[in-house]
Amino acid sequence: MLVTIDDQTIEVAPETTVLEAIHALGGDVPTLCYDPRQAPFGACRACLVGAEGARGPIPACTTPCRDGMTIDTRDVTARRVVTAVVELVLSELPQPPGAHTELAAVARELGIGDGLRWPGASHERRHDERHPYLALQHELCISCGRCVRACDEVQGAFALTATGRGFSANVTAGLDAGFRDSSCVSCGACADTCPTDAITEITLLNIARTTPGERT
C-alpha cells in the first residue's frame, strides 16, 4: 500500500504503523513512550500527526497505515497539542529533566521554554538506591511504561510494574521494596530505555546529578 508523508510517497507492507513509515522515509516526530524494541503503547501522545480526512490528530505509533493515507508531520493542530502535552509532562517533575535525557531533547525540539502554562503539584521525591547497579528516582517517572515493557517483553524478568492511577501513577520494582528485593536480574534494560533518569545506573547517577537541567 502507498502512503504519503509530507509530500513524499512510500510503499509499505500491511500492518506498518504511521511512525514506522515516517522513519522509513528518514523523517521523525517526537516520542516519549516509544521504543522500537517494544510493542506500541500509545500513552505519551507526543507522536500526534495530522492525517487527511481525520477528525483530529492521530497517534503515529499505534495507527496502522491505510492505502492512500496522507500524513502531515508538521500539522499545526497536532504540533500545538503535542507542545501542550510535553509542557504538562515537564510540570509534573519537581525539577527540569537533565539536559542529556530524551525528555529534555523533546522539549528543546518543540521549543518549550521555562514558562509552563499549567503549573501545579509535582511528584514527591522518593529514591531507591540500595541496588548495586540500578537507582530508581520516583519523582522523575513520567509513566511512559518503557521500563515495565523492557522488563516484561524484552528481558522476561517481570520485576517492574506500573503503580497507582491518574496523577499518582508511577513505577516500582517487585512489591515496592526496591530493585534488590525484586526479581530484577540487573540487565539494565529499564535504565537503558528510560527517557528521564527515573531509572538509571548508579554509576551514571552522579553524572546525571552534576548536569544541571536545561529547558531551552
Binding footprint of another protein on the chain (CB under 8 A): 32, 40-46, 48, 56-57, 59, 62, 64, 77, 80-82, 84-85, 88-89, 91-92, 117-118, 120-121, 142-143, 145, 158-169, 172-177, 182-183
CA distance 96 to 12: 39
Q: Which is nearer to another protein, 115 or 212 (CB)?
A: 115
Complex with another protein: residue 124 or 207, whichever CB lies closer: 124
- Minimum CB separation of residue 101 from another protein in Å reads 16
Asked whether the beta carbons of 6 and 49 are under 8 A apart, the reply is: no
Q: Are 150 and 161 in contact (CB under 8 A)?
A: no
The CB-of-53 to another protein minimum distance in angstroms stands at 16
Question: Among residues 7 and 118, whose Cβ is nearest to another protein?
Answer: 118
Residue 39: is it exposed, middle or buried by C-beta count within 10 angstroms (0-12/13-18/19+)?
A: exposed
Q: Rounded to the nearest 10 degrees, what angle do helices 76-91 and 102-109 cross at? A: 140
Cβ(49)–Cβ(29) under 8 Å? yes
Q: How far is the CB of 40 from another protein (least distance, A)?
A: 7
Q: How far is the CB of 187 from another protein (least distance, A)?
A: 15
Least separation in angstroms between residue 26's CB and another protein is: 25
Nearer to another protein, 137 or 143 (CB): 143
Size (the chain), residues: 216
If the CB atoms of residues 65 and 203 are measured against another protein, the closer one turns out to be 65
Q: Residue 85 or 187: which CB sits closer to another protein?
A: 85
- Residues 130-155 as b/e (b if ≥16 CB within 10 A, e otherwise) read ebeebbbbbbbbbbbbbbbbbbbebb
> At its nearest, how many Å lie between another protein and the CB of residue 15?
10
